[in-house]
Structure 1
Amino acid sequence: MEKESLWTKEFLIISLISFLSMLIFYLSIVCMAPYTTTEFNASASTAGLASGIFVLGSLCGRLGAGRQIGIVGANKILWIGLIIFAITTALYIAAFSLELLIINRFVQGLGVGIVATGTGTIVAHLVPKSRKGEGIGYFSLSIILAMAIGPFVGIMLMNVKNGFDIIFILNTIIAVLCIIIYAFVKLNLPISKQESEEKEPEQKSWIWKFIERKSLPIAFIALLVGFGYSGIMSFISFYALEINLVTAASYFHLVYAIVAMLSRPVTGKLFDVKGGNMIVYPCLIVLALGMLLFSQATAGWMLLLAAGFIGLGHGNFNSIAQTIAVKVTEPQYFGLATSTFFTLMNFGFGVGPYILGFFVSTYGYRSIYVSSAILFVICIPIYHLLHGRRDKELLQSSD
């Protein structure tokens, strides 16, 4: 039997938009803490807030977009997100105070949250049901590639004259490019307003208008994993300086991405055949081992080996968890499921740097990374209770 088509023009263009928008995300988030401490003399906790509030804005954007997609459609939602994203990206140069910077980062986060929900929902509709794990796995490679290039370029540009200004200008050009690219895309996706209004009448609370209940368990695990991983995203530059491994740290996300990209096609196909448990349990174990090695790194090879473990664990967990969130829901709720998953994951990313920043001065970076490794181990039984024990049953019922 011939496989259903996956590599369509629309799939490729939406994946490119996802890559470019996430490139801005990772390029800016790795430099924001150093930028606030350099330009505004901010404390470690405040620098963590400036870095993480972008993700909290993204959280709010995803919540609103997930609900509105069922009313106005993913096409219009993506247009709105791209416009907000481009305007706020251009406003960084005008942020002359820490307060204005934080406000702009929050609003920009709204934009990227809307964009990410729009692209994720569109792809969930474009990918054939029989190839969900494989298709979403390939799509999420755009995020992995951005995760590699963004921090790598960001760290390099921070070390040149007027590096922060160059980063802001580059981000603005990329944001405008996203709008231009999307103008050439024509999509005809279903609007499920009627189904959304009729969904489970017994759900009287307003919160269920913004949260997809079936995807909530796996999204909660993603929140915990995101919290644990956020310390690397926001504080790797400071940690590298402290342990004198700046050069090796500049290649961390590159190694992460290479390992994730090489393994992603395999794990995606394996998910379609065997289900989520076959991937998630090993990913959490490998992620914990990688974080523990990262926390104890004393040489460049140790840091980069940790990057490989973390890329294998974290990179594949995110893809498979997102696929689970979509597969346990009905097609008309893909937007809400995508929003729910990334909202909780981004919440972990957002509050992580702020909370961890309070403990850095007292316990140090190594201690917070050890704590993250322990958290990933704790996620294993939590995953089993919330989803793992019913994985086969839920995935088969969704086919």
Structure 2
Amino acid sequence: MTQKKSPIWTKSFLFISLSNFFLFLTFYALLTTLPIYVTDDLNGSESQAGLIVTLFLLSAILVRPFSGKLLEDFGKKRMLLISLLLFMLTTFVYVAATSFYLLLALRFFHGIWFAIATTAAGAIAADITPDSRRGEGLGYFAMSMNLAVVAGPFLALTLLNWLSFSTLFIILGALLAGALLFTSLVSAPATEAPSSKKKLSFHDLFEVKALPIALVGSLLAFSYSSVISYISIYTKSLGLLEAASFFFAVFAIAMLVSRPFVGRLFDSRGPSIVIYPSLVLFALGLLTLSITDSSFMLLLSATFIGLGYGSLVPCFQTLAIQSADHHRSGHATATFFTLFDTGIATGSYVLGIVVSLLGYHSLYFIMGLFVFVVMYLYKVMTNKKATRLRSQSTVHSS
């Protein structure tokens, strides 16, 4: 007699996924359009447009370590509602951002609430997913971000053909009101009462058990930053800018098609059965990108990267959460994304220097090889973990 599986797609899981979708849709819509807003409406330079993106990530990185403690002390759902509310209000205030420096201040403020909201949403999703199906569940939850990667820029750029930036900001704010509504309908598990100690420790900011996989994840993010930061400039230099508009669409489709199988394999056969092939596919995608000279090659690389990288992020996040005690899911999520965001931000800067010295073809070739270094480090980490578990089991049995 087969045991009935615990359901993943409960009402709360659906609502938290929808809330996360609208949050990331707004994030990617603004990420795509604000640089245009800076250069066209505020008469700013390209470097100022880049600073708009960098400062947002910087504030998110600075706040992320504290978000786990905030969730533990005040409750995950409460902090998600508060951070979403402030993220929404800040989006509306963009309408009044008629100077570059005011916009810069808003971006820093916006990044704070984005860090808390994404940490809270991820932790709630982990809490309401059955333990035996966590890899599959968090894989499905990650689809809300994957869809937003395509939907956000597409919606924003399409609307800007007919509407002003001010109207776009109001529409995005209204979508965030939908995220608030969906969050209010989520039944999140109760949070344990906070401890009475006042002094803030490293344990309050980071989940030590999640650090090894989070460090590997940061190197993965470092390599992926070569795609999100430079793919549009690279394709323009190749005369493939029109095909580049389909790159992330193909990328997202590949992720969505593979997601149900990847999650089930992760839970039934273990993480390595998914992670090693996904790392090879990601590396293959970057190496294909390095020799791209046609639309077909570009979209083929998007397929490989979507299948590879798209499977790796939810797997690594799940491993980070599984490494910690259940009540520390918020800290584990915060630790993972702190290092992940740091990898993206560092890569965007460092790889710009690599491009200026060696060019785009060499950049993607080097990053393809770098993914094999990430694979080696993951193998070292899993071997150490296996050795530690064996030694613990020997101690307990003796």
Give the structure-1-normalised TM-score. Answer: 0.88
Aligned position for 1:233 = 228
Q: CA deviation at 1:389?
A: 5.0
Could you tell me which of 17, 42, 45 is aligned with 2:45?
Answer: 42
Rounded to whole Å, the distance in 2 between the matches of 1:235 and 1:344 is 21
Query: How many pairs does the alignment contain?
Result: 388
Q: CA deviation at 1:37?
A: 4.3
Aligned position for 2:385 = 390
Aligned position for 1:215 = 210
Rounded to whole Å, the distance in 2 between the matches of 1:192 and 1:246 is 53
Q: CA deviation at 1:360?
A: 4.1
Q: CA deviation at 1:378?
A: 1.5
Contact 1:297 1:303 in 2 (8 A): yes
The structure-2 alpha-carbon separation of the partners of 1:161 and 1:246, relative to structure 1 and needing over 3 Å to count, comes to: farther
In angstroms, what is the RMSD of aligned CA positions? Answer: 2.7
1:248 and 2:251 are equivalent in the alignment: no
Q: CA deviation at 1:326?
A: 0.9
Aligned position for 1:314 = 309
Question: Which is worse superposed, 283-292 or 145-154?
Answer: 145-154
Q: CA deviation at 1:161?
A: 5.7
The structure-2 alpha-carbon separation of the partners of 1:325 and 1:96, relative to structure 1 and needing over 3 Å to count, comes to: same
Aligned position for 1:129 = 131
Aligned position for 2:396 = none
Question: Which is worse superposed, 322-331 or 56-65?
Answer: 56-65
Aligned position for 2:83 = 81
Could you tell me which of 262, 265, 273 is aligned with 1:270?
Answer: 265
The structure-2 alpha-carbon separation of the partners of 1:4 and 1:184, relative to structure 1 and needing over 3 Å to count, comes to: closer
Could you tell me which of 318, 321, 324 is aligned with 1:323?
Answer: 318
Give the structure-2-normalised TM-score. Answer: 0.89
Q: CA deviation at 1:359?
A: 4.5
Deviations 1:127-184 (A, max 9, x none): 11111111111111111111222233345456x3666555433322222221233233
The AA in structure 1 aligned to 2:147 is L
Rounded to whole Å, the distance in 2 between the matches of 1:89 and 1:335 is 25
Rounded to whole Å, the distance in 1 between the matches of 2:58 and 2:389 is 30
Contact 2:83 2:116 in 1 (8 A): yes
Question: Which is worse superposed, 208-217 or 378-387?
Answer: 378-387
Contact 1:290 1:309 in 2 (8 A): yes
Could you tell me which of 346, 351, 355 is aligned with 2:341?
Answer: 346
The structure-2 alpha-carbon separation of the partners of 1:134 and 1:207, relative to structure 1 and needing over 3 Å to count, comes to: same
Aligned position for 2:18 = 16
Instruction: Give SS of 1:387's match.
Output: helix
Contact 1:48 1:234 in 2 (8 A): no
Rounded to whole Å, the distance in 2 between the matches of 1:168 and 1:360 is 34
Rounded to whole Å, the distance in 2 between the matches of 1:351 and 1:104 is 22
Gaps of 5+ in 2: 393-398
Q: CA deviation at 1:372?
A: 2.5
Contact 1:28 1:167 in 2 (8 A): no
Aligned position for 2:191 = 190
- Identity among equivalent pairs (%): 36
Q: CA deviation at 1:121?
A: 0.9
1:146 and 2:141 are equivalent in the alignment: no
The AA in structure 2 aligned to 1:304 is L
Contact 2:60 2:114 in 1 (8 A): yes
Contact 1:52 1:353 in 2 (8 A): no
Rounded to whole Å, the distance in 1 between the matches of 2:238 and 2:368 is 19
Alignment of 1:92-171 (within 5 A): 92-156=94-158, 160=161, 164-165=165-166, 167-171=168-172
Q: CA deviation at 1:247?
A: 1.9
Rounded to whole Å, the distance in 2 between the matches of 1:187 and 1:368 is 44
Contact 1:52 1:349 in 2 (8 A): no
Rounded to whole Å, the distance in 2 between the matches of 1:372 and 1:36 is 31
Rounded to whole Å, the distance in 2 between the matches of 1:8 and 1:188 is 14
Deviations 1:261-299 (A, max 9, x none): 111111111111222111112212211111122233221
Gaps of 5+ in 1: 199-203
Instruction: Give SS of 1:182's match.
Output: helix
Rounded to whole Å, the distance in 2 between the matches of 1:238 and 1:343 is 27
Contact 1:56 1:351 in 2 (8 A): no
Q: CA deviation at 1:373?
A: 2.1
Q: CA deviation at 1:197?
A: 6.4
Deviations 1:346-391 (A, max 9, x none): 1112233233344444444434333332322221111122235536
1:373 and 2:343 are equivalent in the alignment: no
Aligned position for 2:395 = none
Contact 2:44 2:100 in 1 (8 A): no
1:260 and 2:255 are equivalent in the alignment: yes
Rounded to whole Å, the distance in 2 between the matches of 1:172 and 1:360 is 37
Rounded to whole Å, the distance in 1 between the matches of 2:15 and 2:294 is 40
Deviations 1:177-201 (A, max 9, x none): 212332334434222524x969xxx
Contact 1:55 1:350 in 2 (8 A): yes
The AA in structure 1 aligned to 2:45 is A
Question: Which is worse superposed, 313-322 or 65-74?
Answer: 65-74
Question: Which is worse superposed, 358-367 or 136-145?
Answer: 358-367
Rounded to whole Å, the distance in 2 between the matches of 1:351 and 1:89 is 26
Contact 1:276 1:391 in 2 (8 A): no
Aligned position for 1:57 = 59
Rounded to whole Å, the distance in 1 between the matches of 2:5 and 2:321 is 20
The structure-2 alpha-carbon separation of the partners of 1:302 and 1:167, relative to structure 1 and needing over 3 Å to count, comes to: farther
